[in-house]
Amino acid sequence: MPERGPDAVVIGAGPNGLAAAIKVAQTGRSVIVLEAEETIGGGTRSANLTVPGFIHDVCSAVHPLAVGSSFFRSLPLARHGLEFIHPEIPLAHPLDDTTVELSRSVEETSTGLGTDASAYLRVMRPLVRNADFLMRQFFAPFRVTPEMATHAPLLARFGMLAIRSAVGLGNAIFKQAPARALLAGLAAHAIQPLENLSTGGYGLMLGVSAHAYGWPVARGGSQKIADALVGELQSLGGRVMTGRRVGSIADLPPARAYLFDVTPRHLDQLTRFRYGPGVFKLDWALDTPIPWRDPRCLRAGTVHLGGTLDEIAASEAAIGKGQAPQAPYVLLSQPSLFDATRAPAGKHTVWAYCHVPNGSTVDMTDRMEAQIERFAPGFKNRVLARNVMTPADVERHNANCVGGDINGGSGDLRQWFLRPTWRRYATPNRQIYICSSSTPPTGGVHGLCGFFAAQTALRRAFR
Ligand SMILES: Cc1cc2nc3c(=O)[nH]c(=O)nc-3n(C[C@H](O)[C@H](O)[C@H](O)COP(=O)(O)OP(=O)(O)OC[C@H]3O[C@@H](n4cnc5c(N)ncnc54)[C@H](O)[C@@H]3O)c2cc1C
């Protein structure tokens, strides 16, 4: 008799694939996950990239979306070894003459913003108070919910601010460089020119996540997130098989539903789906902490480097024109300051990337290190070893990062609503679903694309 296949097969063991598999397994159905690489985790892998004894996050490092995710919060991941560590403050943004500190408290943050303190409080306080509602609303496929009526005044106010570009919003609500720079650094995570509509909203939401949930790192590395998800899946009877690249549907065992944690290009169906800029990433092993000129930067898990709003906007605008920026905006994380398991005693790991045009071949090492030296003179003398990942290396590490795009496709306003098509997770084939970060809500380690895709599959394929 032919062996009976599982109820569902998930292709790809990234956070969304694993979340989808857990959601299916929670209903008592059998599920297996086929992962192309020898290790699990997709964008949440950690590895020894420099010298023995140093653990580096290969992709994701900072996890506000994981701690804010309603699905991850519903899972007993701590039981499977996952622990988030909160740095003293989530974010520091040094300027040439001062440093903006974003702490968990909105009030404390505002005190460092001079005459913009009251504007910051006015904008952020109501949003942070309603962070869980905003997370539920915006980290989900767009839908009309009864909650929207209750929060109509908040939504209207947020909508009017959020639709604006980061440049427009920053210059309108703030008068001084520190607050404007803070918003620009947050908004630049959108990986779009900061003149684009809705980049202001992106910056506000990321700021809300820092105040409401913090920007923690996982003790022992981001790999622990994937390991905990696999632990939970196995406790529900699910299985993961590594080294199983799926090249075509014919490679798959019989099942009632297939959930693909892959980007649309690999499904050969959605050739018009657009990818965003890429990233150029560096990891360093250091023999001391970073010698920041302003020691307040040592309190932060994440540091935004790039200077003023105008400077950061220029860096992101260059990428929009297809050019690698001369003075890039750099996102930097220094996890070993707060997690002693990452490096030998007294030594440190640093993770950073900058944005570049999709598939760019320009070596950004010197430009990124110059940006760090600007705020931490002597940094380069502390480097024991560095690992370089070009956009092509990022894609080699994970086929979903097309041209170095870390968000599974451009997140501009047009594609936000058609991500990846009006069908969202479903395809014309009732058995096939997409559950990767190319679906709503978007990139990041939150598992919600997988959760909502599995909900859709359970409704349609198992009806
Ligand atoms: C450099 C970098 C930095 C990042 N920083 C952060 C951060 O700090 N915080 C944050 O929240 N997010 C961050 N992200 C984004 C985050 O990692 C992704 O959004 C997230 O991992 C997407 O999850 P996913 O499950 O959709 O896909 P992925 O994590 O990409 O997983 C997809 C999996 O599918 C596998 N796969 C692909 N094709 C096949 C195939 N044909 N057959 C079988 N398996 C296949 C891949 O090997 C991979 O394991 C970063 C990403 C990168 C690259």
Exposed (0-12), middle (13-18) or buried (19+): which is 414, by Cβ within 10 Å? exposed
Q: How far is the CA of 123 from the centre of ligand 1 (A)?
A: 33
What is the pLDDT, as a whole number, of residue 26? 98
- pLDDT, the chain, mean: 94
What's the Cα-to-Cα distance from 216 to each of 62, 187, 209, 266, 302, rounded to whole Å? 6, 19, 11, 32, 9
Tokens 């394929």 correspond to 461
| Cα 288 from Cα 218, distance rounded (Å) | 21
Q: Is residue 200 scored above 90 in pLDDT?
A: yes
Residue 454 has pLDDT above 80, yes or no: yes
% of the chain beyond a pLDDT of 90: 87
| pLDDT value of position 2 | 47
pLDDT tops 70 at residue 417 = no
Tens-place pLDDT, residues 52-69: 999 999 999 999 999 999
Which tens digit of pLDDT belongs to each residue from 150-179? 999 999 999 999 999 999 999 999 999 999
Rounded Cα distance between 408 and 273, Å, is 10
Task: Name which residue sits closest to atom 11 of ligand 1, judged by CA.
Answer: 444
Q: What would the pLDDT profile of 238-259 be if each residue is shown by its tens digit?
A: 999 999 999 888 889 999 999 9
3-class secondary-structure state, position 425: coil
Residue 15 Cα: closest atom of ligand 1: 25
29 CA to middle of ligand 1, Å?
A: 25
Mean per-residue pLDDT, 216-234: 98
pLDDT at 47 over 90: yes
How would DSSP label each residue in 175-186?
Answer: -SHHHHHHHHHH
State yes or no: pLDDT of 1 exceeds 50. Answer: no
CB-defined site of ligand 1, < 6 Å = 11-17, 34-37, 42-44, 59-63, 65, 245-246, 261-262, 266, 279, 281, 353, 394, 398-401, 406, 408, 436-437, 443-445, 449
Which pLDDT belongs to residue 90? 98
- What are the residues facing 350 on neighbouring strands? 284
Q: Tokens for 58?
A: 């290969």
**Which residue has 């990321």 as its token pair?**
206
* Of 269 and 356, the one with more pLDDT: 356
Query: 438 pLDDT exceeds 80?
Result: yes
Alpha-carbon separation of residue 387 from 27, 217, 222, 296 (angstroms): 43, 20, 17, 27
Cα(70) to centroid(ligand 1), Å: 19
Separation between Cα atoms, residue 24 and residue 8, nearest integer Å = 8
pLDDT value of position 407: 86
Residue 323 has pLDDT above 80, yes or no: yes
